[in-house]
Structure 1
């Protein structure tokens, strides 16, 4: 469904991505992990053409979208949940969701809104509240729901665990698991390697703008180098002893 080939992005003289290639098949849940500054957000923003690229191609659903603008990419069935959630804080929960579906027919928006309320009951309960009054976890649910209002074939997720408590992170990932089991294709980028690889089918490891490892998520989760680099201080201490 998604095929990224030899993607390179630079910020002035600084290379952020260098010949990055990834693919995601229909129905797959793929995670891309890496430390802060590895280029994860840059990759998603370049796929969506939010930022430009100096080299490489992006194909989505069999069509080259390398030169398509962001609204066109969204209309073709790709949506992104941005890092930091970025809900419209002064708008209500319902208005945020409706904004997500502004390109869809009215009947579809109504049906999708009901689906979002069924999937995220807290959003229905708080639909008249302003989004800025929600907790971090609730805002993440809202950001996911807003993206799903576009009826996407492929959902891009940027750091869904950022700033959330462990129990809330698990809840968010369980929702993603439900979406994936329902057939939605997901490409997720994360620093939280444990959660990302636990729920994904395949994974990539991005380091300093390059893909250095790829494979089944379970294999990457068990890889000693991945554990040493990405699974936290406690493992590093054990590794170094």
Structure 2
């Protein structure tokens, strides 16, 4: 469904991505893990054509989309849940959701709104509340719901666990699991490798702007080098003994 080929992106004199190639098949849940500054957000922003590229291409459903506007990417079925959620704080929950469906027919927006609030009941309960008053977890659900309002074929997720408590992170990922099981294609980037690989089918490891490993998520989760580098101090200490 989505194929990124030999992508190079730089900011000024800094090379952010070097020869990055990833693909996501229809119906897959793919996680790309990496430390802070590895280039994960740059990859998603490049797919959405928010940032430009030096070299490389992106194909969506077999068609080149490297020069398609960000708005048209959404129309074609690609939705991004940005890092830090970025809800419209001074707008109500309902207004935030409606913004997500601004390119859809009015009748379709109404039906989609019902679907989203059924999946995230708290959004229905807080429909008239200002989005800025929601908790971090509720804002993350709102950001996901807003993206779903565009009826995407693929959902791009940027650091969904950022700033959330462990129980809330699990709740968010369980919702993503439901979406994946319903057939929605998901490409997710995360610094929290353990949770990202637990729920995904396949994974990539991005380090200093380069893909250094890829494979089944279960295999990456069990890889000693991945454990040492990305799964916490206790794994690093065990590996170095």
TM-score of the superposed pair, with normalisation by structure 1: 0.99
Structure 1 residue runs of 4 or more that deviate by more than 3 Å after TM superposition: none
Q: Which runs of 5+ in 2 are unaligned?
A: none
Q: CA RMSD in A?
A: 0.4
CA distance, structure 2, for counterparts of residue 156 and residue 34 of structure 1: 16
Hey, what does 1:57 align to over in structure 2?
A: 57
1:172-211 superposed matches below 5 A: 172-211=172-211
Hey, what does 1:227 align to over in structure 2?
A: 227
1:114-193 superposed matches below 5 A: 114-193=114-193
SS of the residue 1:113 aligns to: helix
SS of the residue 1:186 aligns to: strand
CA distance, structure 2, for counterparts of residue 167 and residue 121 of structure 1: 17
TM-score of the superposed pair, with normalisation by structure 2: 0.99
CA distance, structure 2, for counterparts of residue 232 and residue 108 of structure 1: 44
Q: Which runs of 5+ in 1 are unaligned?
A: none
SS of the residue 1:84 aligns to: coil
Count residues in correspondence: 241
CA distance, structure 2, for counterparts of residue 233 and residue 48 of structure 1: 34
CA distance, structure 1, for counterparts of residue 88 and residue 238 of structure 2: 43
Hey, what does 2:7 align to over in structure 1?
A: 7
1:51-70 per-residue CA deviation (whole Å, 9 max, x = no partner) reads: 00000000001110011110
Shift of 1:117: 0.7
1:112-152 per-residue CA deviation (whole Å, 9 max, x = no partner) reads: 00001100000000000000000000000000000000000
